[in-house]
Structure 1
Amino acid sequence: MTFDLVAHDPQTKARAGVVHTAHGAIETPIFMPVGTAGTVKAVQQRDLTHDVQAQIILGNTYHLYLRPGLDVLRAAGGLHKFNGWDRPILTDSGGYQVYSLSGTRKIKEEGVKFRSHIDGSSHLFSPEGVMDIQRTIGADIIMAFDECTPWPCEYDYASRSLDMTHRWLKRCIQRFDSTEGHYGYAQTLFPIVQGSTFKDLRVKSAEFVAEQGREGNAIGGLSVGEPAEQMYEMTELVCDILPKDKPRYLMGVGTPANILENIALGVDMFDCVMPTRNARNGMLFTTQGIINITNKKWQLDFEPIDATLGGYVSTFYSRSYVRHLFQSQEMLGPQIASIHNLSFYLWLVKQAREQIVAGTFREWKEKMVKQVMTRL
């Protein structure tokens, strides 16, 4: 994997680049739709390609390991062949999912023992095992195994957790560098910066991660409940330390405003379940603001969901009709909403890229943050 920087915004730390992978190029800044179990919920690959115009999607090690399982993925020739997605894929290591299973897991130096949420069976995730699993899944970009600390947490706990995450990272790197992929193309390992919201721990982690010299780096442990201001503070602190010639991936973020503000701080890659999760509950992000499509005010609104956005779904279906689908509990409603919201997120980062290249990002960002977060 290589990364080419194309442009810098003169008034912020925002930058535009291109990530080159075995399955194609990714123009940054980029938003990556989350396909936890090998599928972006309610969205076909055709829609992801043509309407959403996604350049890369995510899978999750924990979920894919449990179902369909490694035997199926290996027999299929990897996740790309299994789900029919021929563009880049990134897999999370499962660290966050294990973190969320706090009642059924035990964290030790060896790794994490946990019980499956599906059938209660017992499993162990070690740094070496997670590397092997992600080799079998076959994603272009794979993540190191880490512990995601909760917020808030005590300093001592965050410090001990960080030290273990760093030890795990060294084990991940050793295993990754001593093995090869199964499907004839290169994979890339991203380390993850942790440290909760403690400045000294974040600095320590960012410096340690930078020293590893990998092709890209991730920022984890944010967007877990902390105030947005703390997220931005930690992100800026870390971005100022991580190498400028490597892509920076802020994990699990976030709202449209979060994405724009973090682009301004130097982040290149984002993912979040928000656009699809909120879509299934009737919240639509548009170029003019946020719509709760279940509200009665849209009952007689026969305008397109978002004529400015473009794309088939956003311009073909009316707000009135989509509201009707939700009121009738028709599956098509969440499908339309999911495709639309993802299209909006990809539109937003594409616009951000164009503004960075033009040198007008800061003024545009200040206006857009207010506009897209307005409740309509």
Structure 2
Amino acid sequence: MSDADSKTLPDDDAGSFSVVRSGDEGGARVGVLQTPHGTFETPCFLPVASHGELRNLTFEDAADCGSRLLMVNAWHVFRRAGAEELLKAGGLHGWMGWSHSVMTDSGGYQVYSLRETSRVDDEGVTFLSPEDGKEDQLTPERVIEIQRIIGSDVITVLDECPPYPCSKEAEQAAMERTHLWARRSVTAFQEMPPRYGRRQALWGIVQGGVSEDLRKISVDELSQHPFDGFGIGGLSIGMPPSVMREMTALVCERLPHDKPRHLLGTGLPPAILDGIEDGVDTFDCVLPVRKAERGVAYTSRGPIYYKRHAPRGLADSAIDPDCGCTTCRDYSWEELRRLYRSEKADAARLVAIHNLAFYHQTLHDARLAIRKREFRAYRDSFVEKWDSGEGSAPQQGGGSPAASRTVGGSATPPMMRGMSPVSSSMGGGSPAKATRATPSPDKASKGSAVDESDAKTQKRGPSITGGRGVLHIKVKSNNVIVTFTDEQGQVIGWSTAGRAGFKGARKNSPMAAAFAGREAAQQAIDAGVQRVSVKVKDVQGRSEDVLGAVRDAGIEITSIVNVP
């Protein structure tokens, strides 16, 4: 069905979901999701445009990569655009200039991320806006009203995400409040008609922390309401991957089979494939775009740091020889590295295009494997290659890009090979993989001077294997100390509240702790850290501010241990 066809879907069909193939192994399945702005297959990935824009990318870039559904933060975009502008534009699609589908996050994550300055009760959440410091409030009814004005295809309800770790009592309180808000959201949704004559789907959010019995209670409660789909919340905030998988599988097994399931905020490809195996249909994350700006490309052999010199013999190769996107077709690793140093935004755009194309290709291949009933073999093969440690030095076998071109704001938007600008096939088409010639000699790296910053990086002693590191947080009565090490204990980045000029009691403030976390995290990212286990010694309760800053920097937290 083409996009044009999907725009004329009857109200009863818009927002509908059907499972067209279930795998023999686990809960993996292929589905078809219909919205007033398109029909596409699941499992699929949603790029995140929190404020109604994609950093360094145009929406045409995103569509050309295969994106057909975006995740937008309702609260952020409503504050930015305002009701008058949204109504004048006919909703968010017209305001953004995006013709495909949109899911909106309720803004409930503000309950979690702004908890130091927020107040939560049964009425809703009251907090200080990070933009202007003014007090704002989100209630279940206001969140529905905002999303009616926005006109998104999929609406999510206001929920409360408890921090991790926390007591079971705190998990239960957040879950019960989420259920109360869900009931009020359904009533508000039924009482407020759509603004633009097209049906919007309403999805509930499952909570319950890491307690099996609470997750079951949450699923059973929400399943009694007329939701069109379900989000699974509170599982991408630092718990070990094994716990996250256990909770995801439990929830998916218990949710209605005929409703779509979305795993909120889960981002690395291996974790997405785990979610697919457990029965998840859609995923969103900031990583593909955010990490491109920080010098990271995701490839079939794991993440690479394109902002650094390529391993010997690979400078003229594409960053991913197996990828058919125009970035890999037209630019070498060395060209992207040099561009990152001179025109960072242009390099970030090109690599974000590659990262999104890689994510969509991975999900396309996953759907194909499910149809063939070979998903588990596909997942195991993908993860083995990803974890092989070859990401920083891809196997030889990739040739030189066909040609380099001048980069600038007016460059022709790249497209995946074999894709038309507006694909009529479900899921955004099936991007073709490039066939490459024998690699050419590394002309760029031979005899070229390594600049001072790269030389320092290469001489650094710590060894980062598979992007793994350790984060040590020590909160004292008069300071916050944040240190990143490799797995052998060698320091790769550190900071303290005192380094930013915080004095006296202010050294223990949320702002000071966040600063220390943010500065140390950037050093760790520059050293190649992607994920960390955490060791915490905290007598003042400031470690959550550090962890929030580290997560916002794009580092995955795999486990948290309190030490004496």
Q: TM-score, normalised by structure 2?
A: 0.65
Aligned to 1:95: 108
Deviations 1:34-88 (A, max 9, x none): 01011121111111111x1101011101211221222221221111001111111
Alignment of 1:206-217 (within 5 A): 206-217=219-230
User: C-alpha displacement at 1:248, in angstroms?
Assistant: 0.7
1:288 and 2:301 equivalent? yes
Aligned to 1:25: 39
User: C-alpha displacement at 1:12, in angstroms?
Assistant: 2.1
Worse-matched range after superposition: 111-120 or 224-233: 111-120
1:2 and 2:33 equivalent? no
Alignment of 1:221-232 (within 5 A): 221-232=234-245
Counterparts of 1:303 and 1:205, CA distance in 2: 50
Letter in 2 for 1:79: L
Letter in 1 for 2:54: V
Letter in 2 for 1:156: E
User: C-alpha displacement at 1:329, in angstroms?
Assistant: 4.6
1:127 and 2:140 equivalent? yes
Say if 1:252 and 1:272, in contact at 8 Å, map to a contact too. yes
Letter in 2 for 1:166: H
Counterparts of 1:309 and 1:6, CA distance in 2: 28
Aligned to 2:507: none
Letter in 2 for 1:341: N
Aligned to 1:328: 342
The secondary structure found in structure 2 opposite 1:211 is coil
Aligned to 2:371: 357
Counterparts of 2:228 and 2:98, CA distance in 1: 23
The secondary structure found in structure 1 opposite 2:254 is coil
Letter in 2 for 1:160: A
Letter in 2 for 1:339: I
Deviations 1:247-281 (A, max 9, x none): 11111002111000110010000001111111111
1:313 and 2:327 equivalent? yes
User: C-alpha displacement at 1:298, in angstroms?
Assistant: 5.2
Task: Provide runs of 4+ in structure 1 moved above 3 Å.
Answer: none
Alignment of 1:260-279 (within 5 A): 260-279=273-292
Larger RCO of the pair (alpha carbons < 8 Å, separation 6+):
1
Counterparts of 1:309 and 1:207, CA distance in 2: 43
Aligned counterpart for 1:49 among listed residues 63, 66, 73: 63
Give ranges in structure 2 of 5+ residues lacking alignment: 1-14, 393-564
Letter in 1 for 2:292: A
The secondary structure found in structure 1 opposite 2:273 is helix
Say if 2:293 and 2:344, in contact at 8 Å, map to a contact too. no
Counterparts of 1:175 and 1:213, CA distance in 2: 13
Say if 1:64 and 1:70, in contact at 8 Å, map to a contact too. no
Aligned counterpart for 1:60 among listed residues 42, 51, 73: 73
The secondary structure found in structure 2 opposite 1:180 is coil
Aligned to 2:246: 233
Counterparts of 1:20 and 1:275, CA distance in 2: 25
The secondary structure found in structure 2 opposite 1:191 is strand
Counterparts of 2:70 and 2:238, CA distance in 1: 24
User: C-alpha displacement at 1:25, in angstroms?
Assistant: 0.7
1:252 and 2:252 equivalent? no
Letter in 2 for 1:226: M
Letter in 2 for 1:44: T
The secondary structure found in structure 1 opposite 2:162 is coil
User: C-alpha displacement at 1:328, in angstroms?
Assistant: 2.4
The secondary structure found in structure 2 opposite 1:297 is coil
User: C-alpha displacement at 1:194, in angstroms?
Assistant: 0.3
Deviations 1:313-348 (A, max 9, x none): 232111111111222253101111111111111111
Aligned to 2:94: 81
Letter in 2 for 1:104: T
Worse-matched range after superposition: 59-68 or 346-355: 59-68
User: C-alpha displacement at 1:195, in angstroms?
Assistant: 0.6
Counterparts of 1:211 and 1:348, CA distance in 2: 34
Counterparts of 2:83 and 2:351, CA distance in 1: 32
The secondary structure found in structure 1 opposite 2:384 is helix
Q: CA RMSD in A?
A: 1.3
Counterparts of 1:93 and 1:111, CA distance in 2: 12
Letter in 2 for 1:39: E
Aligned to 1:194: 207
Say if 1:116 and 1:123, in contact at 8 Å, map to a contact too. yes
Q: TM-score, normalised by structure 1?
A: 0.97
Structure with higher helix content: 1
Say if 2:229 and 2:259, in contact at 8 Å, map to a contact too. yes
Say if 1:305 and 1:315, in contact at 8 Å, map to a contact too. no
User: C-alpha displacement at 1:8, in angstroms?
Assistant: 1.2
Letter in 2 for 1:137: I
Deviations 1:340-370 (A, max 9, x none): 1111111111110000001111111111012
Counterparts of 2:103 and 2:145, CA distance in 1: 15
Say if 2:310 and 2:333, in contact at 8 Å, map to a contact too. no
Deviations 1:108-147 (A, max 9, x none): 1111111111111111100000000011111000101001
Aligned to 1:110: 123
Say if 1:95 and 1:147, in contact at 8 Å, map to a contact too. yes
Letter in 2 for 1:23: H
Aligned to 2:436: none
The secondary structure found in structure 2 opposite 1:239 is helix
Give ranges in structure 1 of 5+ residues lacking alignment: none
The secondary structure found in structure 1 opposite 2:81 is coil
Deviations 1:187-211 (A, max 9, x none): 0110000011011111100111112
